[in-house]
């Protein structure tokens, strides 16, 4: 029996980030009381979220331009090692985490910020570990060389 040509990720990363963020916001935020957070928090959080979202779109576009899938439950056809991928093996997850931070700050949700490390642990152990094993198996030395010179996060 042959192995499936994908990482076997069971948790869609955007859903993971969104779930942790929503729990934090629903349990602790200015929004839950029908208010906005302080203006400076809205501004800072909004700037962080917008810049991070642009970074996410640019990193995702690299996949489309390279002709490989962005979804971790579909086959990867190529190792991308330029652009944002020159500095991080997971720039999309970095961007998702930064968007999360921006939204949590804009909502005035300290609980959401406290939950982010737990979210990142889920991403690390239930998504990235599977992706890395799949890529090592599929691309061998090419991926191991890339992995040796580029950090996982930043």
Average pLDDT over residues 117-123: 98
DSSP state of 127: I
Q: Please tell me the predicted confidence (pLDDT) of residue 1.
A: 61
Whether the per-residue pLDDT at 33 is higher than 90: the answer is no
Residues 6+ apart with CB under 8 A from 114: 24
Whether the per-residue pLDDT at 102 is higher than 90: the answer is yes
Q: pLDDT confidence of 147, banded at 50, 70, 90? A: very high
41-70 pLDDT, tens digit per residue, is 999 999 999 999 999 999 999 999 999 999
Burial class (CB in 10 A: 0-12, 13-18, 19+), 109: buried
């Amino acid at each position: 029996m042959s192995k499936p040509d994908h990482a076997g990720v069971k948790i869609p990363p955007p859903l993971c980030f969104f779930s942790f963020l929503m729990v934090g916001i629903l349990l602790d935020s200015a929004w839950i009381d029908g208010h906005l957070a302080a203006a400076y928090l809205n501004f800072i959080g909004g700037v962080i979220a917008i810049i991070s979202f642009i970074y996410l779109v640019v990193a995702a576009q690299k996949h489309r331009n390279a002709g490989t899938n962005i979804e971790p439950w579909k086959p990867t056809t190529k190792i991308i090692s330029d652009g944002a991928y020159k500095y991080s093996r997971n720039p999309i997850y970095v961007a998702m985490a930064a968007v999360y931070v921006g939204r949590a700050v804009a909502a005035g949700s300290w609980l959401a910020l406290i939950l982010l490390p737990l979210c990142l642990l889920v991403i690390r152990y239930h998504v990235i570990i599977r992706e890395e094993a799949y890529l090592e198996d599929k691309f061998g030395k090419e991926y191991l060389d890339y992995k040796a010179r580029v950090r996982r996060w930043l």
